[in-house]
Amino acid sequence: MSNEVELKLAVSPDFAEFLSQALSGLNVISQQTIFLGNSYYDSTDGFFAAHKMGLRIRRENDDFTLTLKTDGKVAGGLHIRPEYNVPLAENKADLTELVTRYDLDKSWLQLSLQAIFSTDFQRRLWLVEQGGTVIEVALDQGEIVAGEKREPICEVEFELKQGKITDLLRFVASLTLENGVRLSSASKAQRGYRLVAGKMPSAQDWLERWKDFLQSSQNMPKPLQKLTALFQFEQDLIEETVNLGADFFAQNFLRTVERVGAFFNLYHFYSENGKLLESAVNEQIESGRLHREDDLMLRLLDSHSRLLAAMKEIIRFHSETKDNAKAMAKLLELLHSAQYVHRMLDLILLTLNEND
């Protein structure tokens, strides 16, 4: 068993050429292109999905690997999760070796497994070394298939092979990214299960969730704890908004007002609570996880100011035009900007736990 640590970006199809150029000036140890076929399995009663695990067989050429990914931690697009791997002699979902080698629950051997969906994609790989840190950069392009339903895959994973998580974050932050990208907290397995279900995620009441955050944050003694909860709120809000899509909000004026208002509340709170940010930064400096010369706080203060101004403009536009679709398109464009990615990387770095 090992912990997989990776940062995931959802990107546009034309990102491949940009990425290749961005990495060309770095110390690329090796690079290759491979095709990966993956079948995901579960029991008839959805045991692995219910326990937030993913079980897959990956085929690379004539080799088969059974992998179990268990529930871990996701912060923005940073994924940290335990992973179990065993080679298979054939393309058959047999848990015997997995359970035996890692001393897992033997009752799993009684599970009746069936293929649920597949993810098939081309992977372009670059292994990059920088100052002792080794990072595998993987551009995946393909599709998720569940019966007759299909969903495209176009994402970049930065996996830490050697070094610290802070090194991984600073590496991605050093890249001059294009617009049309965002940090993604959804794994391929999660997206596959969502495709199988065939249901649009339900929209939460973010006004109530905001009230809950404000109330619960009063009982958080440390600034870093409060900021981490705020960041989690933002992650969840972004992921749901992107998954629902502009069309969902375009159908209803109040729905758009509420969603734009949720982001306004968020950025207004960030802007009005600069002391919270300063205290969290100082807490991380005292722990040795941040350096005093790092201008992270100034970058975040500037980004919060710009985001608040952008939300005020979207609110003005929506109020004057009543155009739900264009207002949401403006919001989604903001969430998919390179500047937003860099801001989220700063927040991950700031809220990173010392035990990560």
The answer to whether residue 169 sits within a structural domain is: yes
Q: What is the DSSP string of 65-87?
A: EEEEE---EEETTEEEEEEEEEE
Counting Cα atoms < 13 Å in the Cβ hemisphere of 262 gives 26
Same domain, 240 and 177: no
Q: Please write the tens of the pLDDT for every residue from 79-138.
A: 898 999 999 999 999 999 999 999 999 999 999 999 999 999 999 999 999 999 999 999
What is the C-alpha to C-alpha distance for residues 37 and 159, in angstroms, rounded to an integer?
Answer: 19
Q: 3-class DSSP state for residue 350?
A: helix
Count of structural domains within the chain:
2
Counting Cα atoms < 13 Å in the Cβ hemisphere of 214 gives 11
pTM of the model: 0.92
Same domain, 34 and 172: yes
* Residue 278 domain boundaries: 206-351
What is the C-alpha to C-alpha distance for residues 234 and 283, in angstroms, rounded to an integer?
Answer: 21
Task: Please give the average per-residue pLDDT across 232-259, as a whole number.
Answer: 94
Same domain, 45 and 190: yes
With 50 as the cut, is the pLDDT of residue 356 above it?
no
Q: What are phi and psi of 146, to 5 degrees?
A: -135, 95
Same domain, 110 and 32: yes
Percentage above 90 pLDDT, the chain: 78
Domain end position, chosen among 197, 230, 262? 197
The answer to whether residue 54 sits within a structural domain is: yes
Same domain, 62 and 148: yes
Structure-token pair, residue 270:
């960030």
The answer to whether residue 356 sits within a structural domain is: no
Nearest to 338 by CA among 106, 182, 126: 182
Same domain, 78 and 12: yes
Q: CATH number of the domain that 149 lies in? A: 2.40.320.10
Same domain, 293 and 189: no
Same domain, 87 and 231: no
CB distance 287 to 279 below 8 Å: no
Same domain, 214 and 158: no
Same domain, 179 and 252: no
Domain end position, chosen among 197, 227, 245? 197
Same domain, 110 and 229: no
The answer to whether residue 80 sits within a structural domain is: yes
70 or 313: which leads in pLDDT? 313
The pLDDT, as a whole number, for residue 37 is: 96
Same domain, 214 and 167: no
With 80 as the cut, is the pLDDT of residue 353 above it?
no
The answer to whether residue 238 sits within a structural domain is: yes
Q: Please write the tens of the pLDDT for every residue from 303-319.
A: 999 999 999 999 999 99
The answer to whether residue 118 sits within a structural domain is: yes
CB distance 176 to 193 below 8 Å: no
Cα-Cα end-to-end distance for the chain: 16
Domain end position, chosen among 197, 227, 249? 197
What is the C-alpha to C-alpha distance for residues 150 and 130, in angstroms, rounded to an integer?
Answer: 38
The answer to whether residue 246 sits within a structural domain is: yes
Q: Please write the tens of the pLDDT for every residue from 125-183.
A: 999 999 999 999 999 999 999 999 999 999 999 999 999 999 999 999 999 888 899 99
12 or 353: which leads in pLDDT? 12
The answer to whether residue 289 sits within a structural domain is: yes
